[in-house]
A and B are shown apart, each in its own frame.
Chain A
Amino acid sequence: AQKITQTQPGMFVQEKEAVTLDCTYDTSDPSYGLFWYKQPSSGEMIFLIYQGSYDQQNATEGRYSLNFQKARKSANLVISASQLGDSAMYFCAMREGRNTGGFKTIFGAGTRLFVKA
């Protein structure tokens, strides 16, 4: 069955340092997509980064990178040079069915990141 696990309910990081948010997943479908979203205290959901199961290279978007380890079924989010505005809840998500979208998508329980000045 489809499952997403985020084992860190909360994390602290010093401003300007890098931080890794963990995400493991489980699926029997060989074709899937992995996503990270940010939810600031204002409540909106913001898409950060996407990794397809057949992608050979790790995805990067600005200060965000996704450390994709397929054999270990992990898709950790790395935020480099943390900023105060990075303080938020972060959700890992997986979409099954096809690499490129659609179908059922599940979310992890989230990790709350606190960036310290």
Chain B
Amino acid sequence: EAQVTQNPRYLITVTGKKLTVTCSQNMNHEYMSWYRQDPGLGLRQIYYSMNVEVTDKGDVPEGYKVSRKEKRNFPLILESPSPNQTSLYFCASSSSLGGYTFGSGTRLTVV
């Protein structure tokens, strides 16, 4: 089954404790992206990647890191999470044509 797999689905952590949200796709898509969704703000792009070793900042990259060492994986790293990073996070991938396939989302709470 073609899919984007994100883990974990739910995460509660404390301020300052480094965490990684994993994202993997099995569709050989070139493009991958991370979004956060907050009430009333829609989805805001954090980082995106057009291919292996090619990444760029979206609209809200502060406090986040990404890497694209393999085509299928695009992890999101929070080096020192803060409460304002509490949000619903989505990973998404697409080919050069068509729309995104989204992961199921990761609900992160930073206390």
Binding site for B on A (CB under 8 A): 35, 37, 43-50, 91, 93, 98, 100-110
Contacts and interface: CB of A to CB of B under 8 A. Distances in A.
B33 A101 contact: no
A50 B30 CA distance: 18
Contacts of A49: 99
Interface residues of B, number: 29
Contact of A47 (B40, B45, B100): B100
Contacts of A93: 43
Interface stretch (B13-21, B77-85, B89-97): B89-97
B98 A105 contact: no
Contacts of A44: 102, 104-105
A107 B50 contact: no
B77 to A, nearest CB: 20
Contacts, number: 70
A35 B48 contact: no
Contacts of B31: 101-102
Pairs A-B, 9 closest by C-beta atoms: A47-B99, A45-B102, A107-B43, A109-B42, A107-B42, A101-B96, A100-B96, A35-B99, A102-B50
Given A107-B44, A109-B40, A110-B42, A101 B58 contact: no
A43 B99 contact: no
A3 B38 CA distance: 18
Q: Which of B31, B33, B59, B99 has the most CB of A within 10 A?
A: B99
B102 to A, nearest CB: 4
B100 A45 contact: yes
14 contacts: A43-B88, A43-B105, A45-B100, A47-B99, A47-B100, A47-B101, A100-B97, A101-B31, A101-B97, A101-B98, A102-B48, A102-B94, A104-B56, A105-B33
Given A101-B30, A104-B56, A105-B45, 17 more contacts: A37-B99, A45-B100, A45-B102, A46-B102, A47-B98, A47-B99, A47-B100, A47-B101, A50-B99, A100-B97, A101-B31, A101-B94, A101-B97, A104-B59, A107-B35, A109-B40, A109-B41
